[in-house]
Amino acid sequence: MPFTPVIAVITDEVSEDIETALGFMAGHGVDRVDIRSVDERNVILFDDRELTELAKRLADAGVTVGCYCSPLLKWPRSGAKIPPGANFHGFDPGVLPPEDAVPMAFDVANRLGASQLRIFSYFTYDGFVPEHLDDDLDRLLDLAETHDVTLVLENEHVCNVATLEDLTAVVARRAHPRLKGALDLANHRAVRPPAPSAEVLAAAARVAGTVHVKDFTAAPRRYVALGEGIVDHRPLFAALREHGPSGELAIAIETHCPADGAAVTARSLEALRKMLA
């Protein structure tokens, strides 16, 4: 059975104001969202009242939260430095230490009704091997079982898992039903500019739990609406149809164009719908 794509939008890619973002969803026929930050704060920093109010706003708007885009493991390991260009997306480890952020993230996912929780792989450092994540994944997977969520590991260009090959190596090695990949082709190409081979795409498709889509120009790199740059997602979608999971698979738009988020997201939605059709 081929996968069924479900289009999602990360709300803060449209606006940090949740009412503006939800108005956009209603106007563009989007009923699946991913949550990361609201009012320029990652929602992991929300207190109990704020989380309750956010969950009610989302329910009243008739949208489902597919993934809580948490900041888990998007921080330094063992005293490593924070790389230039790192974006915490409203999270502040000085306000909420990592040891407290881990259990809080699972509570947030449950409070918002998210079936997935996005994680990372520490800011990049020399000598990384997939085994370095074993202890962290053991703890996170135990919590995922307890809280009935699936972890989706994103390949992020400032983290150790930066490419689709890196992502496949970690997820396939663990082979755990609650650990999947958050495939980001643009992040892959930011690190490795050539388009990935069919073999790389097929391997990534086999571990896919969700997909993030965005686009950028070549030189200088500038984020643009989907289909207006150099990142061709059609081969990835073809690989997902042939090798990916059956059932629903969220394709989440993440434009990285905060100055014009609504307009760029609208153009990206139109392009994505054409690609998937």
83 pLDDT higher than 90: no
Q: If you compute the radius of gyration of the chain from its CA atoms, what whole number of angstroms results?
A: 17
Q: Is 247 helix (H, G, I), strand (E, B) or coil?
A: strand
CATH class belonging to 3-276: alpha beta
- Weakest-pLDDT range from 48-52, 79-83, 117-121, 231-235: 79-83
Angstrom distance (rounded) from CA 22 to CA 29: 11
Residue 64 CA to residue 12 CA, distance in Å, equals: 15
Q: Report whether 44 contacts 104 (CB < 8 A).
A: yes
Q: What is the per-residue pLDDT for 48?
A: 97
Q: What pLDDT is attached to residue 82?
A: 76
pLDDT band at 250 (very low <50, low <70, confident <90, very high): very high
Give residue limits of the domains in the chain: 3-276
Identify the bridge partners of residue 21 per DSSP, sorted by sequence position.
none
> Does residue 244 have a pLDDT over 90?
yes
Residue 116, strand partner residues: 67, 150
pLDDT band at 80 (very low <50, low <70, confident <90, very high): confident
Checking if the pLDDT of 77 tops 90, the result is no
Query: pLDDT over 90 for what percent of the chain?
Result: 90
Looking at residue 1, what is its pLDDT? 54
Residue 2: per-residue pLDDT: 76
Average pLDDT over residues 129-134: 96
Judged against a pLDDT cut of 70, whether residue 145 lies above it is answered with: yes
pLDDT of residue 264: 98
Please say whether the beta carbons of 117 and 145 come within 8 A. Answer: no
State the chain's mean pLDDT as an integer.
95
Tens digit of each residue's pLDDT (9 = 90 or more) over 148-202: 999 999 999 999 999 999 999 999 999 999 999 999 999 999 999 999 999 999 9
User: Whole-angstrom Cα distance, residue 66 to residue 9?
Assistant: 10
Which residues face 65 on adjacent strands? Answer: 33
